Copies of this chain bind each other. A is one copy, B any other.
Amino acid sequence: MPVRLSDIASEAGVSLMTVSNVMNGKRSRVSEATAHRVLEIADRLGYVPNLPARSLAASKSHIIAALTPVGEDHSLLMSPHTVEVIGGLEKHLRHEGYHVLLRGIEKEADITGAIKGWALDGAILLEFADSQIDRIQVSGVPLVAIDSYSENPRTISVRTDDRRGGWLAGTCLTEAGHSQLLFAGPPFEGMGVMGQRWEGFLSACIASGIDPSQIAVVETLISYEDGQALGRRLRKDHPDVTAVFATADSLAIGILAGLNEAGVRVPEDISVIGFDNIEMSALVTPGLTTVAQDIQAKGAEAARLVLQEVEKGQGTPPPISLEVSLVTRASVASPRTSQRT
């Protein structure tokens, strides 16, 4: 029923190969005239290439997988951030004629299995921890890891410039005149995303003459609820603190809510700065000042890099860090406002 290359070939009175060459844009191997005629016929007949056949013959599938870890017998649980990354990469790949296979990964063998089974041209790893990426042994196809600081040489890293983001947050707070600071984020080891944000924040503080030992650190998950709990007890636990850097907006917004419940005013009593610039950040009261990143661009960049490797393939390129910027809203003010109280 479906139209094949051979159908077009006989209709056009040329060989199957000529049609194949036209379809693959190898214009140098076909005369302008026949190319034109073949194209016209293909269009008229409604030709759609059979991708499995193409994959089999060429051992190249035009499929890039989006892989995210998933607990055994669990559903894919993508964060809003990941969803946006996928949106960005899907668009790029679609426009380049590639396809996205979405797959939850229960164990490392799933990765190699998917790659070999589908003759995947590449894969993009989302939400994997650096330690997991370190362990990946796969080779033969380009692998891009999003938000990774892993040094796995087989893996291309695409991430946000987290260090600069931390630095922006620190600068924003110290320039407003704060010196009693609190850093709130998930526990981390080494120089992953959070480590980078901390380093950047720290260096901004030091640059403005703050003694690092003065900086309070609270380890907390980044959920709204954890932030809320932290906000409620903040004044009690840290009476001197006048400004908080929360390493995620979800956390920051929770803190805002908790502080509000505790009767602490933002920004008059305490300033809060977040990271991510999620949709909600513009909507809460007061609006959350935060470090913003272009998440879709991160997805597109990841896609661009896999394709570059697929098509040119000159060995793992260096990590890429995307720019961040400061979004100023109402949650940060000078601490003097509070001393007036």
Instruction: List A residues at the B interface (Cβ < 8 Å).
Output: 2, 48-53, 55-56, 61, 63, 66, 70, 73-78, 80, 83-84, 86-88, 90-91, 94-95, 99-104, 112-113, 116-119, 224-225, 228, 257, 261, 280, 283, 285, 296, 299
Name the B residues within 8 Å of A101 (CB-CB): 63, 99-102
Q: Among A225, A261, A283, which residue has the most Cβ atoms of chain B within 10 A?
A: A283
CA distance A83 to B83 in the complex (A): 8
Say yes or no: A48-B116 contact (C-beta < 8 A), given A83-B78, A103-B99. Answer: yes
Give me 8 other A-B pairs in contact (C-beta within 8 A), A83-B83, A90-B102, A91-B104 excluded: A48-B112, A48-B116, A48-B117, A53-B56, A63-B101, A76-B91, A90-B103, A257-B283
Contact A51 B118 (CB under 8 A): yes
The 8 A-B pairs of least Cβ separation, nearest first, read A52-B55, A75-B87, A76-B87, A48-B116, A75-B91, A52-B56, A52-B52, A102-B102
Contact A61 B52 (CB under 8 A): yes
> A91: nearest residue on chain B (CB-CB)?
B75
Majority secondary structure, A binding face: helix
Contact A50 B102 (CB under 8 A): no
Cβ-defined partner of A118 (8 Å) among B52, B80, B83, B296: B52
Q: How many copies does the complex hold?
A: 2
Name the B residues within 8 Å of A88 (CB-CB): 75
> A116: nearest residue on chain B (CB-CB)?
B48
CA distance A70 to B95 in the complex (A): 12
CA distance A283 to B50 in the complex (A): 50
Contact B2 A116 (CB under 8 A): yes
> A284: nearest residue on chain B (CB-CB)?
B257
Contact B90 A75 (CB under 8 A): yes
* A to B CB contacts below 8 Å, 28 in the list: A48-B112, A48-B117, A50-B116, A50-B117, A51-B52, A52-B55, A52-B119, A53-B56, A56-B56, A63-B101, A75-B87, A75-B90, A75-B296, A76-B87, A78-B83, A80-B80, A86-B102, A90-B103, A91-B104, A94-B103, A100-B102, A101-B101, A224-B280, A224-B283, A225-B283, A228-B283, A257-B283, A261-B285
CA distance A48 to B116 in the complex (A): 7
Cβ-defined partner of A49 (8 Å) among B51, B77, B117: B117
